[in-house]
Chain A
């Protein structure tokens, strides 16, 4: 039996799979806890998978002089529910780098918001037995590729039935810090990836916000930022890069002038849009939204330089 187990594990490792933690509510809760525990030293990243894969943890820490950031971004995650949770937490006194993805930040995305709210609620309601169970699960997930959800019975069944052998994804593995580093060398064909993404985008019908909704959102964001500032923290709004095929569509439904520029003009928040910086504007995600690991390093380095220049971050120790 042991032989069978070891063989199965080695087979998938030989096919390029690596152990990865499940990026679930309990793993998010561990990071969220740190955001409060670290007090005024906490640097927190909030947003979607763009933020999860767009920032290189060590590079950002080295170049800003900040402690390593806490990753609270999540796949398809609108920033607002997490920002709301941080603002309401009297114990949170850190700095937030908040991703502004126009559709997720300003659009009508109730389904995604509910998903994030559930994860946030799970943090508030988690019990010690759940934490203990999660620690045990992490031990297994971090050691065995056979615990990957990508190797679940459904995937294996499809592999057998349709001859579709599961392959490792380029989006990277999840470690305890929840950062992901994409490796586009694992993508067999970038044009094919673009075709798939264009098809997926074509199936999504964005729902823009009304003026009243926008005003309410601006006011809420400002109030949240003020609450965090009042405790000694800060919020910096960041627009991470998009590939032309995503940007084109986003601009059509969410014109920058109506959303980002209005937001920037109406609030006195710190904000950084990648297109406003010639170096950042050159770093484009190959799959539309997510930077590769080398790009994430470059992006983090340049972002850190801007943060230091504006006096938000202290800069690297001399």
Chain B
């Protein structure tokens, strides 16, 4: 079910109504669980079984880990959780990619191997909920969290519909505690939750889909016919589209949860106002970057305990970012995108170590320069994120630094892209160190009304075409 669908509006109204009835807390949690399975099944009912497998295995593994003091047994149960979750993810998401590359590999040695392409449908949100359940098992294994005391609570933690298919990736300690006692949104939470839903839908339906997506699709689907200006404009447009799409989804998820009284972690915090790549990853898809840091990067570092030199850290960082890229999709373009970010992070850490003490590098002028450089490099890296193939990506990047003719994007669309992208950048810079809710609540009422009314009116008046969220494919 898409947030930007009429079905969701009906579904959410029914869920809110049920949640407001004077029912026992356990019954309300049961309602939310059933609603969450319905939300997921609306896309493809059989795949609910995968959710049940992931939920059952991690419930069992974490429970057994907590019950035993044997390190060997604990490792065994952790291995079970990793095997099942990563096995599901590997099969559904990476099997076709692995086979394709295996075929290319063996052909290098003269073997004419042509297997039938596997017909595997990627289950919606599998990358998100497997990471969420894995974080639970790993944190119980490490002793950072206690296992959930109720299966109902745990199942709801895995399945809670606002964050089920595209995050934020919630940690058990952030959510299970909220299930212990009855929660219901107060007026402020409910109002702000609805406002976030509105802003999120506006970002997705109007800014991402109506204004930016057509330009991006036209150029990236016709890379061979694009000119230099087209390549730049489409890539800038994609930077806006992917932020509004995924940031919009996250805002909807957080808003919907808040309307029910649950607080989900922030997932985006003005990423294009970042100064440096480390700062960027503290602001972009925050719940994924912290997951990768806590469960991949630290795990890789701990494997090399006692030899934690700069080279080891750099290697672990690079590997983490490549895996992060691969998490986004089974394609070499995502691997290269992750590798580019890994390389940038290593370079930044190196520069900080070498020049961090020099006063010039803390001057306002340099910070502005570094911020500008960060956004330019981030946007350039997005070419790999969006391109259909590595060849297309390299072609578009080459175009961006050439003077190739071609005009797939008209003058009016160019202006639109720059206005929307410019407004996005200006807003993010203005809100860089501020909380959106605080800023909004400080607005006088005459300003708050249009800030909310314009998105609502736009959503009602614009006939959207219900594109799926970009991150659903991950």
Contacts and interface: CB of A to CB of B under 8 A. Distances in A.
A138 B290 CA distance: 43
Contacts of B461: 5, 8, 146
B1 interface: yes
Contact of B462 (A1, A132, A153): A153
A1 B452 CA distance: 10
A129 B463 contact: no
A139 to B, nearest CB: 8
A246 interface: no
Contacts of A8: 461
A151 B463 CA distance: 8
Interface in A56-99: none
Contacts of B456: 1
Contact of B7 (A5, A132, A148, A154): A132
Given A1-B456, A154-B214, A146 B6 contact: no
B211 interface: yes
A110 B1 CA distance: 33
Given A1-B456, A129-B1, A153 B206 contact: yes
A265 interface: no
B7 A129 contact: yes
B463 A146 contact: yes
B453 interface: yes
A192 to B, nearest CB: 24
Contacts of A4: 453, 457
A167 interface: no
A133 interface: yes
A3 to B, nearest CB: 11
Interface in B1-23: 1, 5-7, 10
Interface in A111-152: 127, 129, 132-133, 136-137, 140-141, 146-149, 151-152
B7 A136 contact: yes
B210 interface: yes
B359 interface: no
B6 A136 contact: yes
A72 B270 CA distance: 49
Contacts of B6: 133, 136-137, 140
Contacts of B465: 149
Highest count of chain A CB atoms <10 Å: which of B7, B44, B206, B453: B7
A309 interface: no
A82 B235 CA distance: 40
Interface string B101-136: 000000000000000000000000000000000000
A152 B457 contact: no
B317 to A, nearest CB: 42
A241 to B, nearest CB: 33
Contacts of A133: 5-7
Contact of A157 (B1, B44, B416, B457): B416
Contacts of A148: 463
B83 interface: no
A64 to B, nearest CB: 37
A136 B412 contact: no
A141 B6 CA distance: 12
A275 B210 CA distance: 46
A146 B465 CA distance: 14
A226 to B, nearest CB: 32
B423 interface: no
Contacts of A153: 206, 210-211, 462
A222 to B, nearest CB: 33
Interface string B154-184: 0000000000000000000000000000000
B460 interface: yes
A51 B39 CA distance: 40
Contacts of B463: 22, 141, 146-149, 151-152
B457 A5 contact: yes
Given A5-B461, A133-B7, A157-B416, 10 more contacts: A5-B457, A22-B463, A127-B42, A146-B460, A146-B461, A146-B463, A149-B463, A153-B206, A153-B211, A157-B412
Interface of A: 1, 4-5, 8, 22, 127, 129, 132-133, 136-137, 140-141, 146-149, 151-154, 157-158, 161
19 contacts: A4-B453, A4-B457, A127-B42, A129-B1, A132-B7, A133-B7, A136-B6, A137-B6, A140-B6, A146-B461, A146-B463, A151-B463, A152-B210, A152-B462, A153-B206, A153-B211, A154-B210, A157-B412, A161-B412
Interface of B: 1, 5-7, 10, 42-44, 206, 210-211, 214, 412, 416, 453, 456-457, 460-463, 465
The 4 closest A-B pairs by CB, nearest first: A136-B6, A129-B42, A133-B7, A153-B210
